[in-house]
Amino acid sequence: MTQRACKILVVDDEPDLQPLMRQRMRRYVRRGLYTFVFAQNGVEALEMLQEQQDIDLVLSDINMPKMDGLTLLQQIPKVDPDIRSVIISAYGDMKNIRTAMNRGAFDFVTKPIDFDDLKVTIDRTLRNLTEWREALASRDKLVALQNELDVASKMQQSILPTELPGTDEYKVAASMQPARAIGGDFFDFVHLDGGRIGIAVADVSDKGVPAALFMMSSRTLLKGAAIGGTGPGEVLYEVNNLLEEENESAMFVTVLYAEYNPATGELSYANGGHNSPVVFHEDGSSTVLPLTDGVALGLMPGLDYRQETVKLSPSDTLVLYTDGVTEAMNTDFEEFGLERLRSMFVESMPGDAEAINTAIFKAVADFAGDAPQSDDITCLTLRRITTDA
Amino acid sequence: MAISTSREGQTLIVKTEDRIDGANAREFQVDLEAAIDPNDRGLVLDLEQLSYVSSAGLRVILLTAKTLRKQNAKLAVCSLSDSVREVFEISGFDKIIPVHDNQAEAAAALAD
């Protein structure tokens, strides 16, 4: 709490009280605990409250000319709702005491004033005021922090591409649904030479602010490496080494990075500890792309990342996803699972990437029902459209 | 995710159960750190009763390995359930943390 003396306004029309109060409380005034100011009635008290905004506590008599103590109690919150009031009443005057308490008095003392009791009452009141102010300050801090989180969340969403690539030959759709305000998943794409594109889906260990920071740097490094890179394996090798350099907190990110050539349907990919992508075929079957034995990025320098190449047939649909999809749980604690994902389009499949991607999110949401979402959910769909030239 | 501990010589054996995810990973980390003695030369994490581990849980295992390395000790995991084994394989953790079939094998490997 503030180290300044607490300022107490004493309101009483009896002229004797002022010297008595100063005399009996002089020790505490000398120690710098309290300072006193005095008013003769409610009107004067209100004026002083308006002029001196550092008054913490009002100690007021009830019966006074011009404006009595009970009326003053009603007026004080209009000047400052945080000021605490203590009423001085006649002994046994329960009716006025009840009225005063109902009008917001914090406590009361009775006449003749027992100054030891008054000291206890003042200190108790001031302690309450201090706690109240601290609570308000904490709340303000929390609100500020919440605002910052909201900003961070918006920033995070805003770095995700909104316009995804697509031509007559292929279309990409993607979405990320964070479990909390700040997520650890992301997806991205880059245009490469010869009309090729690089696509990525990634999942940072843990969630919240540290994960978000790690996600930001992962995403930047990945983008840079992808643009200058010579293939997915090389790209992950480079990002892994860069991430590991200053990673005391043992954060890591799993990444599926792939490069797609729309002209040939060729897809090269490298998997850094991430879930295996699924390719859905036109006949309702699906293929899980084999793991490439890559380790999650950021853990250990110098690791090699093998890449594989497959060919997407016309109408094949590649789905990259994070474990938020397969590990989504329903209220019976069952997981959505890879098999449920694979069986989604056995009967029929929407003809465009956006609809497929949306259908996956909907299937996960339907499955989870009322179960809370515990992990970020990300899904990126690439559909090959044209026939072979 | 309660943990139980025992010791064989300078090897600490920690068993954990149920799930380790974002909600209890921090607690798991604190419990693990408290269980480690500065004189321990090895830690076997027996995951037989663990049904699920998220990336947050993997991170704690990795942090523990780092902590142990500072006191010149090693970490091994053993007795992975199928679903936990799958997480280890997909994430590539099985390539940076030794995985064994049972406690005896893990303890023997750490003693080497």
pLDDT in tens, A125-152: 999 999 999 999 999 999 888 888 888 8
Average pLDDT score, chain A: 90
Coil, helix or strand for A273?
A: coil
Nearest to B91 among A273, A327, A374 (CB): A273
Q: Do B90 and A293 touch (CB under 8 A)?
A: no
Q: What share of chain A is helix, strand, coil (3-state, %, to 5)?
A: 40, 25, 35
When scoring A215, A299, A335 by the number of chain B Cβ atoms within 10 A, the one with the most, hence best to mutate, is A299
Query: What are residue A89's DSSP bridge partners?
Result: A110
Question: In angstroms, what separates the C-alpha of A289 from chain B's closest C-alpha?
Answer: 12
**Chain A residues with CB-CB distance to B93 below 8 A:** 273, 295-296
Arithmetic mean of pLDDT, B19-43: 91
Neighbour-count burial of A350, counting CB atoms closer than 10 A to its CB (0-12 exposed, 13-18 middle, 19+ buried): middle
With a cut of 70, say whether residue A389 has pLDDT above it: no
Q: What does A155-204 look like in DSSP terms, one character per residue?
A: HHHHHS-SSPPB-SSEEEEEEEE-SSSS-SEEEEEEE-GGG-EEEEEEEE
Evaluate if residue B97 carries a pLDDT over 80.
yes
pLDDT of A3 > 70? The answer is: no
Q: Do B55 and A276 touch (CB under 8 A)?
A: no
Q: How far is B38 from chain A (nearest CA, A)?
A: 20
Domain annotation covers residue B112: no
Identify whether B64 is part of a domain: yes
Of the candidates B23, B66, B95, the beta carbon closest to that of A250 is on: B66
Helix A69-79, helix A42-51: angle, nearest 10: 20
Q: How far is A210 from chain B (nearest CA, A)?
A: 12
Q: At residue A335, what are phi and psi to the nearest 5 degrees? A: -90, 150
Give the separation between CA A162 and CA A333, rounded to whole angstroms.
Answer: 33
**Would you say residue B42 lies in a domain?**
yes
Q: Please give the average per-residue pLDDT across B18-35, as a whole number.
A: 90
Boundaries of domain holding B88: 3-107
pLDDT at A2: 46
Nearest CB to B56; choose among A206, A272, A294: A206
Residue A45: both structure tokens together? 């008290």
Give pLDDT tens digits for A214-260: 888 899 999 999 998 889 999 999 999 999 887 777 889 999 999 99
Q: Which two tokens stand for residue A85?
A: 């009031």
Does residue B25 belong to any structural domain of this protein?
A: yes
Residue B49 forms part of a structural domain: yes
Query: How close does chain A come to B1, measured CA to CA in Å?
Result: 16
Instruction: Evaluate whether residue B51 is within a structural domain.
Output: yes
Residues in A whose CB is inside 8 Å of some CB of B read 203-207, 249-252, 254, 272-276, 291, 293-296, 299-300, 323, 327, 374-375
How many structural domains comprise chain B? 1
Residue A386 confidence (pLDDT): 64
Contact A291 B25 (CB under 8 A): no
Q: What is the ipTM score, two decimals? A: 0.82
CB neighbourhood size of A147 (10 A): 10
Residue B24 domain flag: yes
Query: CA nearest A208 in B: which residue?
Result: B22
Residues 65-104 of B with CB under 8 A from A: 66, 89-93, 95-96
CB contact under 8 A, B58 and A205: yes
- The predicted pLDDT at position A153 comes to 80
Q: What is the CATH number of the domain that holds B26?
A: 3.30.750.24
pLDDT computed for residue A1 by the predictor? 44
